[in-house]
């Protein structure tokens, strides 16, 4: 029930986010690991069973748990416990975290998104809430929220397109709009975030590190839409390492 245990969960279940967080200053990592482990728990809960009711019950447990933070007693749970500590120490809004779990309820339903706007709203409530919570944990001022959320939208779209083929193999219809249109929306959001980057203080920028590959992936998706549907949207390992090294040295997202 420590940040180190959360770090190990993220290392095993979300290795790219783990690598991005290891590029952050050591003092930031214990604030980020519980948030990322929580995100992983939600993602797993939404697919924990072939019976949607079971998945919804697991997500409801998280909704109830985080909604009660930090006033309720700290739960003896490997993720909920450290998350409680971060919420209390950094005064994180409980409704921000509960909103992540509530949005995941939709993942238990195989109905497609009505349009691109519906998908973007889902990503804003999942990727957006997570990145803004991480930014708040690192001391983000209110003025930084639009830029952080724009970057999160781009990162969320890149992750969604990367997972589209796997979602389709599970019987989902993950693309409510043409791939180039979604990729263009993601790149535009990232461009807005970068243009307003001065509003995000350097100590807060590690919250954006998990999106380190987003722009390159979206550019690839725009050029080669078939890679999305075929499950081949990815960067070469050397490019991944180079981008992460640049991020760790410069802090530029």
In the numeric block, which tokens belong to residue 230? Answer: 């075929």
Residue 201's pLDDT is what? 96
Q: What is the pLDDT of residue 109?
A: 87
DSSP string, the chain: --HHHHHHHHHHH-HHHHHHHHTS-TTTHHHHHHHHHHHHHHHHHTTS-SSHHHHHHHHHHHHHHHHTTTTSPPP--TTHHHHHHHHHHHT--HHHHHHHHHHHGGGG--PPPSSHHHHHHHHIIIIIHHHHHHHHHTT--GGGHHHHHHHHHHHHHHHHHHHHHHHHHTT----SS-HHHHHHHHHHHHHHHHHTGGGS-GGGGGGGGGGTTHHHHHHHHHH-THHHHTT-----HHHHHHHHHHHHHH---
∠ Cα 155 226 235 (to 5°): 45
Return all residues near 159 (Cβ < 8 A) that are at least 6 apart.
127, 214
Question: According to the model, what pLDDT value does residue 25 have?
Answer: 95
Q: Which residues of the chain have pLDDT under 70?
A: 1
Quote the tokens at residue 233. 């949207």
pLDDT at 48: 86
Q: Smallest Cα–Cα separation from 48: which of 159, 40, 157?
A: 40
Contact in structure between 141 and 207 (CB atoms under 8 Å): no
Q: How far is CA 117 from CA 10, 18, 31, 120, 204, in A?
A: 30, 30, 32, 5, 28
CA distances from 193 to 29, 111, 239 (A): 23, 31, 22
Tokens for 27?
């003092």
Task: Burial-class residue 203 by CB neighbours within 10 Å (0-12, 13-18, 19+).
Answer: middle
Task: Answer positive or negative: Cα dihedral of 41, 42, 47, 53.
Answer: positive
Distance CA 216, CA 241 (A): 13
Please say whether the beta carbons of 152 and 140 come within 8 A.
no
pLDDT tens per residue, range 75-134: 999 999 999 999 999 999 999 999 999 999 999 988 899 999 999 999 999 999 999 999
Per-residue pLDDT of 239-251, as tens digits, reads 999 988 888 888 8
Instruction: Please tell me the distance from the alpha carbon of residue 55 to that of residue 167, in angstroms, as a whole number.
Output: 16
pLDDT given at position 49 = 85
The predicted pLDDT at position 114 comes to 95
**What pLDDT was estimated at residue 251?**
81
């Amino acid at each position: 029930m420590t940040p180190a245990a959360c770090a190990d969960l993220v290392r095993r279940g979300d290795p790219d986010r783990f690598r991005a967080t290891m590029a952050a200053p050591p003092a930031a990592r214990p604030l980020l690991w519980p948030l990322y482990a929580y995100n992983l728990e939600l993602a797993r809960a939404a697919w924990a069973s072939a019976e949607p009711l079971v998945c919804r019950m697991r997500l409801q447990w998280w909704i109830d748990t985080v909604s009660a933070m930090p006033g309720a007693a700290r739960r003896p749970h490997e993720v909920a416990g450290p998350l409680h500590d971060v919420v209390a120490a950094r005064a994180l809004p409980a409704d921000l975290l509960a909103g992540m779990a509530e949005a995941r309820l939709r993942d238990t339903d195989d109905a497609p998104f009505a349009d691109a706007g519906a998908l973007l709203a889902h990503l804003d409530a999942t990727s957006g809430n997570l990145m803004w919570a991480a930014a708040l944990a690192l001391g983000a001022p209110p003025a930084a929220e639009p830029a952080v959320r724009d970057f999160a939208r781009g990162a969320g779209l890149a992750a969604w397109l990367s997972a589209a083929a796997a979602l389709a193999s599970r019987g989902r219809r993950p693309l409510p709009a043409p791939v180039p249109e979604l990729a263009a929306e993601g790149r535009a959001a990232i461009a807005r975030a970068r243009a307003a980057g001065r509003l995000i203080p350097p100590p807060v920028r590690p919250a954006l590190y998990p999106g380190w590959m987003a722009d390159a992936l979206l550019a690839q998706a725009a050029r080669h839409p078939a890679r999305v549907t075929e499950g081949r949207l990815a960067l070469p390992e050397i490019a991944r390492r180079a981008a992460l090294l640049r991020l760790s040295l410069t802090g530029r997202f």
